[in-house]
Amino acid sequence: MTEVVTRAQAFGLVAEGVAAGLSAPWRLYLARGCRYLSLSVGDRAEWNAWRTHLGCPELSVRVYDAGGEIRRSSVAEVVMDGCRISVELVEEIGTDDLDRLLVADPTAIEPEDR
């Protein structure tokens, strides 16, 4: 990866991913000074593809109540040349999905086990 020091380089990093076949993020936030770039994606497959493409080893998962709806926020981050890049996925989950919350990697659950 090249250094992420300008807006053009930050957006170029995203354009490279899209050119490689990844779905475009539905929201992109670039902080002033190019020290924070945030990508929001629509589903777990996109999230996994972007975090693999960017080499994001860090992962945090947060579950919270949003006005009676249970949501899970998954965030993967990497720092490139002092620029923190995060890929975020927010999913609404139901009470039937609560068993998935106890699994470290919810993609590891086979469809027939759900």
Burial class from Cβ neighbours inside 10 Å (0-12, 13-18, 19+) for residue 53 reads: middle
In percent, the amount of the chain with pLDDT more than 70 equals 76
Q: Would you state the pLDDT for residue 110?
A: 55
Please indicate, yes or no, if residue 113 is contained in any of the structural domains: no
pTM greater than 0.75 (yes/no): no
**Owning domain of residue 27:** 7-106
Please state the domain count of the chain: 1
**Strand, coil or helix: what is 26?**
coil
Q: Is the pLDDT of residue 15 over 50?
A: yes
Q: Is residue 2 part of a domain?
A: no
pLDDT tens digit sequence for 65-100: 777 778 889 999 988 877 888 999 998 877 666 666
DSSP-assigned states of every residue in 33-90: TSSEEEEE-SSHHHHHHHHHHHT--EEEEEEEEETTEEEEEEEEEEEETTEEEEEEEE
Q: Tell me whether residue 39 is in a domain.
A: yes
Is there a domain that residue 98 lies in?
A: yes
In a domain, 112, yes or no: no
Task: Please report which confidence band the pLDDT of residue 19 belongs to, taking 50, 70 and 90 as the band edges.
Answer: very high
